Every structure is written in C-alpha cells, then in structure tokens.
Amino acid sequence: MISPACRDALQTWLQGLSALNGAAAHTISAYQGDLAGFLIFMTEHSGTPQGLGALARISTTDMRAWMARERRSGTGARSLARKLSAVKSFYRWLAEREGFEPTAVLAARAPKFQKKLPRPLAEEAARAVIEAVEGQSETDWVAARDVAVVTMLYGCGLRISEALGLEGRHAPLPASLRISGKGGKERLVPVIDAARKAVDHYLQLSPHPQAPDKPLFRGVRGGALNPRQIQGAMARARAQLGLPATATPHALRHSFATHLLEAGGDLRAIQELLGHASLSTTQAYTAVDTAHLMAVYNRSHPKA
C-alpha cells in the first residue's frame, strides 16, 4: 500500500504537471501508474510503509532492486527507461519540496536499448504513394486535398501537425515557409513547385472559402482536417501498393531527409530543414546505408 502522505505528494505532482506543464492526459496516467508501481515496490521491499521520510532514505541498492524486479517481471529496456525517467522527475520535485538530497535516485542509470530507426520509403515507393493517395477518395476536392498534404510531408519534410497547422494566410504558398515546430522552434522551409501546385489545385476544387485565420486544409464539413483522415488515406494507399505498415505519413518526412542525404545533401542543412535540435537526431532520422555513403565518398573525395 502507498502511504497517505506519498499518495498526496504524488497527486500534487501530477496536478502540477497537468496545470503548469500542460502534460497530456495519457502522459499523466502513465506517470501515475509508473510511480504507483515504484512506491508499492519500495513498501514491499522495505517491509514498512513508505512515508516521505522513508522515500528520502532510498539507497542505490534499493534502486537496483527495483530495476531488477522490473526486468524479471518482463519490463523491456525501453519501458524501464521511461519508468525511471518518471521516478526521477517526481524525485526532483519531491526533494526540492522536502529538502533532501535525491542523489541515489537521480544517479540510477537507465538500461541501454537500441533505438528504433525510422523506415523511409524508397524514392519510387514515395512517388507511388502520393499517386495512390489520389485514388482513395471519390470526391475530387478531398482527393486533391490529401495529395496536397502528403506532397507537403514528402516535398518539404513537414510533420503532419505542421502541415495541418497551416492557415489560409499561407496561400498561395510562397517560395519558403516559416514553420513553428516542436517547442515553438521556428525554421525556414523551402517549398518545391510540386507542393505549391498541389495546394493550388486543392484550393481551386475546395468548396470551403479560405480565410486568413482558418485552417488551410479543411475537413468535409469545413473544420480543421483531422490527421486521422490522412493516416487513413495512406493506409489504403499502402495496402493497394503492397507496402508495409511502416509506410505512414511520418515515414514521408523520414523519406524526405534520407533522399536528400542520398543525393549528396549536407547533414547540417538537413538538420535545419527538419527542425532538429541535435545533429545526432538527424543522423538517426536518415537511413542512408554505409555502402551508399562510401560510394559518394569515393566519387567526391579529391584523393579517391
């Protein structure tokens, strides 16, 4: 059982995450489950109720015992890393509030795990998907809309939320767009002719009048387009083409980065186009194989 004092502290922390940090409901629920499991284990491990004072005395050995128990129960490395992150976040807050040193908890190391690399589409497959998306709706303007969105994803490397966040004031599309990405970070993204033409074609067919402060891409009833509509069109297109389930709208953004790099694009320039804070993220994002990179090297290096 979790002591009343610990339960109250946990609820106060979760409420703060929701109110101050704007954490999503599913994130709050996941944190609550992770912390409840941790606190229950510590109670059972020590054999005594874990009040706030007892939590302040948790040792490195206690943390290792908890992590070992999680692994024995089948928790994967990725999931355990997520749980440990939640525990550390709670402890930073609790230590500041209660005035104790949380070193034993914060020093615990998450298990290493192999990050899942994105799976971009081959260039031919990416083009085929865009063409196939057009045939997934019997309504001409809806088909044109979906093609315009996926062309923006592949042609400009946008996240689907960024494409659907465009407004009427952005049309007709300029030579480059100022995009506000994750964390409010802005970047300048060139707009290729194919994307501009696809959006123009959609606007010509759309029955909904455009307004500067309204979404550029509309749903059937005129409201903001739900990303599930694009995901559904992509799902039907990949089924038609026999592509794997990894051929999602987000895979088009991965494909944009990978194909640019394959064509000899500079990794740091691609980092800027994608809006990545870290170059290592961009490196993981692309899927250019070593053989291809060596071929480019051998062709371009002055001593090759």
pLDDT digits (tens, 9 = 90+) for 171-226: 999 999 999 887 778 888 999 999 999 999 999 999 999 999 999 999 999 999 99
pLDDT tens for residues 243-260?
A: 998 899 999 988 988 888
| Predicted model pTM | 0.61
The answer, yes or no, to whether residue 168 has pLDDT greater than 90, is yes
Copy the structure tokens of residue 150. 């996926």
- Please, what is the average pLDDT of the chain? 85
| Average of per-residue pLDDT across 73-82 | 87
| Average of per-residue pLDDT across 143-158 | 95
| Alpha helix positions (H), the chain | 4-20, 25-46, 52-56, 60-72, 77-98, 103-106, 123-133, 140-156, 160-164, 193-205, 227-241, 249-262, 267-274, 279-285, 290-300
Split at pLDDT 50, 70, 90, the class of 274 is confident
In the prediction, which pLDDT does 8 show? Answer: 87
Copy the structure tokens of residue 281. 């993220």
In the prediction, which pLDDT does 304 show? Answer: 46
Q: Which of 102-106, 114-118, 213-217, 260-264 ranks highest by mean pLDDT?
A: 213-217
Q: CATH number for the 123-300 domain, one of 1.10.443.10, 2.40.160.60, 3.30.300.160, 3.40.50.150?
A: 1.10.443.10
Number of residues that this document lists for the chain: 304
Q: Which of 35-44, 214-223, 288-297 has the lowest mean pLDDT?
A: 288-297
Split at pLDDT 50, 70, 90, the class of 266 is confident
Domain-by-domain residue ranges, the chain?
4-106, 123-300
Backbone angles phi, psi at 70, to 5 degrees: -60, -45
Most distant CA pair in the chain: distance in Å?
Answer: 71
| Domain 4-106 -> CATH class | mainly alpha
In the prediction, which pLDDT does 57 show? Answer: 87
Question: Which of the two residues, 95 and 288, has the higher pLDDT score?
Answer: 95
In the prediction, which pLDDT does 207 show? Answer: 96
pLDDT tens for residues 84-93?
A: 999 999 999 9
The answer, yes or no, to whether residue 51 has pLDDT greater than 60, is yes
- The residues near 58 (Cβ < 8 Å, ≥ 6 apart) are 42, 104, 105
| Average of per-residue pLDDT across 128-150 | 95
In the prediction, which pLDDT does 237 show? Answer: 94
Q: Which of 99-103, 214-218, 278-282 has the lowest mean pLDDT?
A: 278-282
Alpha carbon of 113 to those of 110, 251, 278: distances in Å? Answer: 9, 22, 19
| Average of per-residue pLDDT across 26-39 | 87
In the prediction, which pLDDT does 117 show? Answer: 56
Give the residue numbers marked as catalytic.
159, 182, 250, 253, 276, 285
Split at pLDDT 50, 70, 90, the class of 276 is confident
Residues paired with residue 190 on neighbouring β-strands, in sequence order = 176
Residue type, 194: A
The answer, yes or no, to whether residue 113 has pLDDT greater than 70, is no
What is d(CA 83, CA 50) in angstroms, rounded to the nearest whole number?
A: 19
In the prediction, which pLDDT does 287 show? Answer: 60
Q: Which of 158-172, 232-246, 275-289 has the lowest mean pLDDT?
A: 275-289
